[in-house]
Amino acid sequence: MDSLDRKIINLLQKGFPLSEQPYLEVAQQLGIEEETLIERLSHLLENKTLSRFGPMYDAQKLGGAFSLVAIRVPDEDYDRVTEIVNSFREVAHNYRRDHDLNMWFVLATDSPEKIDAVNSQIEKKSGLKVYNMPKLDEYFIGLNLPV
């Protein structure tokens, strides 16, 4: 990742224009060609520097649900369980923690009932207990991770 990639990521974390030519608008702000921006974003996605690029929808406002989930995964089994968890399209992101419950992920489903169904499937496929921690309250913190 070079300085232009960092500028792109830092700028796009602040928002993406809703217009007829959003990529052109962003490219102009960066002082580059629209094609260069699109190529850079494609490369960042292909090499997995970025896991996704797209809109964030509030699943609950659309009738769905979110939940934080954790699993205690033996170190020697971590890769296998990661593959299982990440195979579900409902997994928004998955990360490792230095904790007894060392795998944490967020589920975003199209209905509240589907949270339990997905967790049950993950338990069945992994053979491990899944700890569901549904959201009780929500706080907006304006997350921005400067690169």
Rg (CA), the chain: 18
User: From 1.10.10, 1.25.40, 1.10.4100, 3.40.50, which CATH number describes the 3-46 domain?
Assistant: 1.10.10
Residue 145's pLDDT band (boundaries 50, 70, 90)? confident
Residue 12's pLDDT band (boundaries 50, 70, 90)? very high
Find residue 108's DSSP bridge partners: 66
Question: What is the predicted pLDDT for the residue at 51?
Answer: 80
Residue 62's pLDDT band (boundaries 50, 70, 90)? confident
Query: What are 104-130's pLDDT values in tens digits?
Result: 999 999 999 999 999 999 999 999 999
Of residues 134 and 57, more confidently modeled: 134
- Kindly tell me if the per-residue pLDDT of 142 is higher than 80: no
Residue 138's pLDDT band (boundaries 50, 70, 90)? confident
* Cα distance between residue 50 and residue 62, in whole Å: 26
Please name the helix (run of DSSP H) or strand (run of DSSP E) that holds residue 35, with its range, or none: helix 34-46
Strands 65-71 and 130-134: antiparallel
Mean pLDDT of 71-76: 97
Question: What is the predicted pLDDT for the residue at 63?
Answer: 85
Tokens of 43: 């490369």
Domain boundary assignment for the chain = 3-46, 59-134
Mean pLDDT of 43-50: 92
CATH number for the region 59-134 comes to 3.30.70.3460
Mean pLDDT of 48-73: 86
Q: Hey, is 37 helix, strand or coil? A: helix
